[in-house]
Structure 1
Amino acid sequence: MTALKIRGLERDRRVEGWAWRNPVALGRFVQELASVYQAEIRTVVDAWMRSRPHDAAPDLPLPRSRPPSERTYDAWGALNEQQRACLEQVYREDQMTEVEVWLQRRHQMVLPPADQWRRLPLQVKAPTDLIEKPRLQQRMRELGLDTAKALILIRQLTGLVEIVHDSIETGDSGPCGRVCVVLTRQGRAAARSGLGEPRQKAPPAHLLSRWHWSQLLRVADAGSEGIADSRMTTKARFFLGVGYRPGGKHPGRGFIDTQPLRDTSGAVVDYMWTITELGKRHVLAYAHLYQVLYPDVELPSMTENHTSRTNRLE
């Protein structure tokens, strides 16, 4: 399938083709459609699955993992032993914070933007009885570095780590100054390559992030009863819901929708989110890929086999 053939189809001409029901061929087809119409791949995939419910789901392979670049290797290789140890501790703290944020999101907690929570406190200028010592400060002390020596080392990691000065509230004592460390993308990549840790794969364009996938499973697992609107995070329902345009840019995926919940008098008391037919198709068609991407995200009884998953969703 090429752009020339698509143009022929639009002009009502007969076009030669084969393997139209092959998922891999359909995957190449939707990629060509997205290119010709300058649309996002996820939009074309959703439209295909919504309008052709009896056809196979397009199969778009997971992106291949790429080895670290020479620039990344050089950045790590240019560091001495002490600088590498310092960068490793900053990287470990960054990854621990990332896991904590993900767990908090799963519990519906409101979080600041990433440029805030990725600030790793190294020093808080407040009495020790008011606030605990930052974890990163303790990590540096395990390396035999006090805060002053750690800051000297961190300043040497140009382009890999940044130092940010801000303040936080500590109750009645008012704002207290804070020294934070921010790991840059280049620093994260250098640490991964030096420590031999693979880079986390980003999901393909038609698949969901870890967070949105877990939210879709919540709604799917609730079945026909659904989940109350008050228990759905704003960003998740805007991105997954029918008829939404978060930020006025891209429409929601249409995987979940609201149904009014009425009392005995017929008055609406709440709105319940339930999974749509398109959402069901997406879960059943791509659950195997999500298991590769996010093996730690539990897939309930839907993953036992295709039949049990279909019964569960229906």
Structure 2
Amino acid sequence: MGQPSFSPQSLTHWRELRGLSVDGLAGAVGVTERAVRYWEAGVHTPGNRSLGRLLRVLRCDAQDLFERQRGTETLEDLRRDAGLSAEQACRALGQKRAAVGLRPERRKLRELERGQVVRSRRWMSPEGAGRLVRAMAQVYGVPERVVMDAWRRTRPDDVLPVLPERKKRDDSSGLEQAWDALNNRQRTYLTCIFWQDQEAEKDQRYRRFLGGAGRRAADWRRMDLALYAPPALVGYTRIQDRLRQEGVHDPGVGASVAALERRGLVMTYQDRVYIPDLGEALRARVELTRRGRAVARLALGAPREETAPAPLLSRWLWRILVRVASAGEGGVDGSLAGRGPHFLAVGRSPSRQAPSRGFIELRHPAGLDHGPYRWFVTDSGWRHIRDYLDRYRELYPDVDTTGIELRAAGEDNAPGRGGDTSLTHE
């Protein structure tokens, strides 16, 4: 596969943006001043060992220095972005539990990255490939879904890697003991806080479904518990209303909440808010800890919202991908707003730590070079649909995917990137 072009001008831009001289950048990266000058002159390109340090020093990502967009990474790109040579990567992979028995070697890794025949049945079995994906994610410092996507771009004709199932820890006995240790009033408080937490979570999912920008969990999970002002003027918080319905008519931050906090089930905060016609008032806020949420969920028998296993999309993102895929040659217009494109579109990123999936792109319709841009499914997106359509239909039966397999089959004409993928014995 072709290497993305390195941009010497971008390197100079980022060096100057960070206030570094050529000598300062060289010292921070651990190379000679001449090496940096050669990079900025376009004579040489940063090697594997220098690239990762360069990205960390400049606090940018590979897309900023290469003519490569997020969501198009190959396996080699991920390794280089991590600042590892093939030999270094193999040594690190060999230390991961997921790669036990796979015997990572430089030759095999380079064959894998080039889309060539990998002379290892262990590496190319669905289970072995899945274990290798997990180990690569740990070594390269990216989510497993990112490695899976890069694997399919690099080796589109290979068998689909199957990620090993994660063992679920059964700590229900400890959670039951935590619930049993609470008195009735403390259980009432924990129950009301839990249901308000779940309502806030449901509201966030709905916002995302409508395409709105979601808030950080650190913000919306921190809920108003009480305002220290006359109820006749400020009313009651949602949690207080729940408590009053359960017969607790003095719902404030007292002994019960303090007991829950001592047991590590909640965290409390205090600040001041301005209230019209009243002025500033003290406000108490509360947030469930993970343990507190787990204790309440088990005791109340509350179902957990199932999350999609890697590398599948959430229901929200799957709906967006299906919408674009179903639009046909006309694509989808700019109404595809909200956070969805940050997770799905080429060139986007939901965070600085991981690229988007690269399943959709904004471009002109085929045959046109003017007019409004539209959203279309990329080759990588169509491949993902073909790989997992049956699983999505089982996971999200409410999402209408009628006819999408015909569209996917019509797009299945992209040339393979590798050679013969037959296996040989180790």
RMSD between aligned residues: 3.9
CA distance in 2, matches of 1:14, 1:148: 65
1:7 aligns with 2:109: no
Matches within 5 A, 1:76-155: 76-124=179-227, 133-148=236-251, 151-155=254-258
Q: Note if contact 1:123-1:134 (Cα within 8 Å) is conserved in structure 2.
A: yes
Which of 382, 385, 399 aligns to 1:299? It is: 399
Contact 1:68 1:193 in 2 (8 A): no
Post-superposition Cα deviations, 1:270-314, rounded to whole Å, max 9, x if no partner, equal 43222112112213322444456x54x732124x7x844636988
TM-score (norm 2): 0.59
Aligned counterpart for 1:310 among listed residues 408, 411, 416:
408
User: Higher relative CO (CA 8 A, sep ≥ 6), structure 1 or 2?
Assistant: 2
> Does 2:144 align with 1:41?
yes
Give the whole-Å Cα distance in 1 for the aligned partners of 2:165 and 2:357.
20
Amino acid at match of 1:255: F
- Asked whether the 8 Å contact 2:179–2:299 carries over to 1, the reply is yes
Write out aligned runs for 1:170-181 (5 A): 177-181=282-286
Shift, 1:8, TM fit: 4.3
In structure 2, relative to structure 1, the CA distance for the partners of 1:238 and 1:57 (3 Å cut) is same
Match of 1:182 among 287, 296, 321: 287
Contact kept? 2:365, 2:374, Cα under 8 Å: yes
Give TM-score, length-normalised by structure 1: 0.77
Residue 48 of structure 1: CA displacement?
Answer: 2.2
Matched, 1:285 2:383: no
Q: CA deviation at 1:38?
A: 6.2
CA contact (8 A) 1:123 1:137 kept: yes
2-structure distance, mates of 1:312, 1:79:
60
Q: Are the structure 2 counterparts of residues 130 and 237 from structure 1 closer, same or farther at C-alpha, using a change threshold of 3 Å?
A: farther
Task: State how many pairs are aligned.
Answer: 305
Q: Is 2:376 the partner of 1:271?
A: no
State which drifts further: 240-249 or 42-51: 240-249
Give the aligned partner of residue 55 of structure 1.
Answer: 158
Structure (1/2) with the larger strand percentage: 1
Is the counterpart of residue 260 in structure 1 residue 338 in structure 2?
no
Output the CA distance in 2 between the equivalents of 1:194 and 1:155.
20
Instruction: Please state whether the residue corresponding to 1:163 is helix, strand or coil.
Output: strand
| Residue 241 in structure 1 maps to residue 345 in structure 2 | yes
Gap runs ≥5 in structure 1: none
- % identity of equivalent residues: 34
Give the SS at the match of 1:73. helix
Q: Contact between 1:160 and 1:183, CA under 8 Å: does it hold in 2?
A: yes
Larger Rg: 2
SS at match of 1:232: coil
The separation in 2 between residues aligned to 1:134 and 1:307, in whole angstroms, is 49
CA distance in 2, matches of 1:14, 1:184: 46
